[in-house]
Structure 1
Amino acid sequence: MFASLVVIGTMVALILLSVSFFGGEVAEGPLQVSMTLSTLLALAVAYFYGFRGSVISEAIANSLHGVMGTIFVILAIGTLIGTLYLAGTVPAIIYYGVALISAQFYYVTVFAIALGLGMMLGSSLTTVGAVGVAFVGLAAAIGVNPAITGGAAVAGAVIGDKTAKISDTVILITASVGGVSVADHTRTVLRTAIPTIVISALLFLILGLVGGNATASVDPAQVQDAISRSFNISLWAFLPILAIFVLSLLRFSAFMALMLSALLAVLLATVTQQELIVALAADPGLAYWEAALKVGIETLADGFQLESGVEQLDRIFAGGGATGMLTTLWLILVAASFGAVVDYTGMLARAIAPVVNWATGTVKLILTTMLSSLGLNLVTADPYVSIVLASRMFRGQYIKSRLKPVLLSTAIADSGTILSNIIPWNVHGALFAATLGIGTLAWAPFTFTAYLTPVVTFILAWVHYLRKDRIAASEDAGQIYGAEPTMLPEPARLA
């Protein structure tokens, strides 16, 4: 028990020190070093207590296999972002958006669009990957806060994902808990989601109304003129975004949908952005097809950088590329390794055991489940692993308390799973930061749905709205839950 607390406590201390020293730049290397040092300490403790290096290595390898799909998604998002600039997609969104969208209603509009797409696609990662960078770019163009915009995009995407029947986290939660259907789970989750959505929308509306006079100093015609000098703007530019949605609805994996759309964007650019490609190739001796191939490969690998000579424009139209995601991959690899060591050696279970045993009574049990789910996400850095662990830890307590399985699935979904999106070293938090090009600590305070969801869930449990979901005395609680699941569906990120 003492060793477990030392390892986990050291990790928390190193992370807090890194944040205090480096602030918004913490994910550019310091956070990765902190997680690496924490992993080394966990390995040393494991060896001290007699665990063989071979079995620890196998546990780490299994953990890394679990995040491999996410790694490919991150690389695909990097390639997509650069090609969306090259094809004129992001410039087109800004070109039309600067004249159509009011700054006063911008944040709530972003929130609503991300919410709708998240519910439709069942993937917050795909939603933010597809439109997040465009939202942030447009925010810079019309003079509103990019960090609030990023928070609004993530807030809408994650709450939409949480309520979608086709979401991979929803499917995994219901399978891990057992005894609850996807339909029952999403119906119960809506009880907490609806108040959260309404309150969040009001907060974004207030933020927009209070700080929405930014466009007074922005001339839409001037912005459009500057963009049209560097890009050929047309409705064809929206084709890659449309492709993402169509492929996602056809149930292509996130990696395939994003990567195919990135390749489509390169092909589109060769047709619609010929002057731009020739300028970026910077080699008059190349035939056009050679210039297009060179620029396409460079954009996929290293991202896009406009060189118009207009500083503000060049700053907005820059980013993406697979290499730009390498620090994010480093963070995910070391965080997953740390989680594997503390999970396999039992350090995590021993640290949480007193909390699990303390939980008696409905309200206390729901609160403990939510706090433990958050703790698991903080330590394992993987929402999918934490879902499985939380389900296993609390099934017995919920059966003993005769609470319906849907309460356990809701408590997990409404706590650690949604809060994982704002943890800088968690898989989802790191991915969103890399996609938006903004540090997690900058946009996370504005991801209101992540904070409000667990609060609303606990309040509803306190006032008996959720507590009425009890198993009747005439029914066998163990039979309703069924045997503990052993074969769980792999998240869509691995497809």
Structure 2
Amino acid sequence: MNSETQKKPTLYVALIPIIFMIIALIIGIGIYETDPHIPLFLSAIVASITALSLGYSWNTLEKGIIKGVSLSLQAILILLVIGIIIGTWIAGGIVPTMIYYGLEILSPTYFLFAACLISCIVALASGNAWTAAGTIGIALMGVSEGLGVNPAMAAGAVISGVYFGDKISPLSETTNLAPGVAGSELFEHIKHMLYTTIPSLIISLIIYFILGFFSSGEGSDIEQVALLQENLSQIYNLSPWLLVVPAIVIMMMIRKMPAMPALAIGSLMGAICAILVQGVSIEETLTTMYYGYSIETDMEVLNNLLNNGGVEAMLWTVSLILIAMSFGGILEIAGFFAVIVESLMNLVKSTGSLITTTVGTSIASNIVGCDQYLSIIIPARMYAAEYKRRGLKLKNLSRTVEDAGTMTSPLVPWNTCGAFMFATLGVSALSYAPFAFLCLLSPIFAIIYGFTGFTIEYEEGHQEQEKKALSNVQ
């Protein structure tokens, strides 16, 4: 069946698989407490049937699925390597050493503030939220459990920090992708993002600081922390020298080594530490790399901290990503996304409404497209012409898709980022989302700036036209 027989979907037809997905997820997760895999799989079936009824061949839809899955292949490979690195770093005593010394220098009162700030620094240096979460993030989650800090709050602070660093680092893939797709320049884009990102970070840090005082009473007592440290020192040969391994990984990222080889080298160094420093056999180390680290102690908290990692632990997340990206690929190739976005243009009357629509499209792309790259590419591609027509500099567009696309991606459980953070930090997106303040505030600042005009930049001579157009609408 060729393209001439394909019908363009109407808005109502395009919404069928999306509405079905929303209902299926509400029923599946909310009522039956199932995993999101099957609701998304059923949604992909509905999307396929709808597309087939419009004249699309299965071969065409299959190409869309393959394209969607291919977008997530790098994420999947990194995820599998992160699973290995978690297992080997626990077996090698690296994570336990981080936890041991973290318990000495941190307290429940300022833990959230410190966790966010530390995560900011590591992600800014490495340029990758996933790398930061998979290294310093897992250590901070271990410290939080030892201190008795609410894990959802701790994960929210870590995610706020890693996404701040990811968003403004010139080493970040999304930070390079957004201006590349929108048509702006990288460092102009980064400079423009500071207007929304810095206020969001400052407010987030203030909230974490305040929350620390209210939640500090929930922390573990001194005796439990001391007992936890004592058990760690009995199980592992702890040494500050083991911290050289994560330091090397971070330095490799700073020197612009791609995430995959840097993390692979980090996992091998962890395996070497397990064998040479901790006395783990080669057979056990290889088993840990696939199945994860496993130990049973008398302390439940310690068991929760140490039984983690391995390739197998990531397969739940990998399968979710594959299904979600298949669904998004069908919606993309069948034109459902394009129709919905085009219909939204009827709502655009001013710069404020255009930026609000861009924010909404990016968030919807994260929810429906299931990947942060789509949340950047789709709105940037769809709205670039409209931004140009209104005389808006394209760095406004690139900033907005990052404010809404990059920042909200870890808040969606079935998005590649949300699934990754759940697999890495052990807390679901629905639990940590209310505490990921930076991710929640960035799109709000984008909308406020859109309507107030603050930091919105126009091409020469176009700002007066916008004011006149807005006064006519009013």
The answer to whether the superposition gives a TM-score over 0.5 is yes
Identity of paired residues, percent? 28
Residue in structure 2 matching 1:407, options 396, 401, 421:
396
- Residues 1:4 and 2:14 are matched in the alignment: yes
Instruction: Tell me which residue corresponds to 1:20.
Output: 30
Counterpart Cα distance in 1 of 2:218 and 2:102: 15
Cα distance change on mapping 1:474 and 1:461 into 2, 3 Å: closer
- Residues 1:470 and 2:474 are matched in the alignment: no
Instruction: Tell me which residue corresponds to 1:238.
Output: 243
Amino acid at match of 1:66: L
Counterpart Cα distance in 2 of 1:65 and 1:222: 47
Structure 1 unaligned regions, length at least 5: 278-291, 478-495
Amino acid at match of 2:127: G
Instruction: Tell me which residue corresponds to 2:84.
Output: 79
CA shift, 1:441, in A, is: 1.4
Structure 2 unaligned regions, length at least 5: 1-9, 466-474
- Aligned positions of 1:50-129 closer than 5 A: 50-129=55-134
> Are 1:87 and 1:268, in contact at CA under 8 Å, matched by a contact in 2?
yes
Cα distance change on mapping 1:17 and 1:36 into 2, 3 Å: same
CA shift, 1:216, in A, is: 6.2
Instruction: Tell me which residue corresponds to 2:187.
Output: 183
CA shift, 1:218, in A, is: 2.8
Instruction: Tell me which residue corresponds to 2:213.
Output: 209
Cα distance change on mapping 1:134 and 1:387 into 2, 3 Å: same
Deviates further, 214-223 or 371-380: 214-223
Instruction: Tell me which residue corresponds to 1:488.
Output: none
Q: Give RMSD over aligned pairs.
A: 1.7
Give per-residue Cα distances to partners, 1:354-379, cap 9 Å, x unaligned: 11232121111111111111111111
Counterpart Cα distance in 2 of 1:462 and 1:65: 38
Counterpart Cα distance in 2 of 1:315 and 1:216: 15
Residue in structure 2 matching 1:225, options 227, 230, 235:
230
- Aligned positions of 1:473-488 closer than 5 A: 473=461
- Residues 1:172 and 2:161 are matched in the alignment: no
> Are 2:111 and 2:212, in contact at CA under 8 Å, matched by a contact in 1?
yes
Residue in structure 1 matching 2:49, options 44, 61, 84:
44
Give the SS at the match of 1:233.
Answer: coil
Residue in structure 2 matching 1:376, options 350, 355, 365:
365
CA shift, 1:255, in A, is: 1.7
Instruction: Tell me which residue corresponds to 1:267.
Output: 272
CA shift, 1:470, in A, is: 0.9
Instruction: Tell me which residue corresponds to 1:416.
Output: 405
Q: TM-score, normalised by structure 2?
A: 0.92
CA shift, 1:312, in A, is: 2.9
Cα distance change on mapping 1:474 and 1:369 into 2, 3 Å: closer
> Are 1:60 and 1:337, in contact at CA under 8 Å, matched by a contact in 2?
yes
> Are 2:125 and 2:253, in contact at CA under 8 Å, matched by a contact in 1?
no
Counterpart Cα distance in 1 of 2:384 and 2:449: 21
Give per-residue Cα distances to partners, 1:359-410, cap 9 Å, x unaligned: 1211111111111111111111111122111111101111111111111111
Cα distance change on mapping 1:235 and 1:58 into 2, 3 Å: same
Counterpart Cα distance in 2 of 1:139 and 1:199: 22
> Are 2:410 and 2:429, in contact at CA under 8 Å, matched by a contact in 1?
no
CA shift, 1:197, in A, is: 0.7
- Residues 1:427 and 2:432 are matched in the alignment: no
Counterpart Cα distance in 2 of 1:416 and 1:356: 18
- Residues 1:32 and 2:32 are matched in the alignment: no
Give per-residue Cα distances to partners, 1:93-144, cap 9 Å, x unaligned: 1211212112100000000001111222111111101111111111111111
Counterpart Cα distance in 2 of 1:239 and 1:304: 21
Instruction: Tell me which residue corresponds to 1:455.
Output: 444
> Are 2:168 and 2:193, in contact at CA under 8 Å, matched by a contact in 1?
yes
The number of aligned residues is 453
Counterpart Cα distance in 1 of 2:219 and 2:40: 42
Counterpart Cα distance in 1 of 2:344 and 2:462: 30
Residue in structure 2 matching 1:301, options 281, 290, 294:
290
> Are 2:391 and 2:462, in contact at CA under 8 Å, matched by a contact in 1?
no
Counterpart Cα distance in 2 of 1:131 and 1:95: 13
Counterpart Cα distance in 2 of 1:18 and 1:203: 34
Residue in structure 1 matching 2:320, options 316, 331, 336:
331
Residue in structure 2 matching 1:161, options 140, 160, 166:
166
Give the SS at the match of 1:473.
Answer: coil
Counterpart Cα distance in 1 of 2:253 and 2:18: 38
Give per-residue Cα distances to partners, 1:216-273, cap 9 Å, x unaligned: 6232433221111111111122132112202212222212111210111110111111
